[in-house]
Amino acid sequence: QGYGRRRSRERDGRSMFARRLASLASRPVRLPRARGMGAKTAAEEPQQAFLFGIKPGTYKPEGWEDITVGFYIASFALLVVGLSNRPQTGFREWALDEARTRREREDGGLQSKWGEHYGGLAKFTYEREEIGEPPVIQAPEE
pLDDT in tens, 17-75: 888 888 878 877 777 776 666 665 555 556 667 888 788 888 888 999 999 999 999 99
Say if residue 11's pLDDT is above 70.
Answer: no
Q: pLDDT at position 29, please?
A: 75
Q: 3-state class of 127 per DSSP? A: strand
Amino acid letter, 126: Y
Percent of the chain predicted with pLDDT > 70:
70
Enter the pTM of the model. Answer: 0.39
DSSP tag of 126: E
Distance, in Å, from the CA atom of 45 to the CA atom of 41, rounded to the nearest integer, reads: 7
Q: pLDDT at position 82, please?
A: 95
Q: 3-state class of 136 per DSSP? A: strand
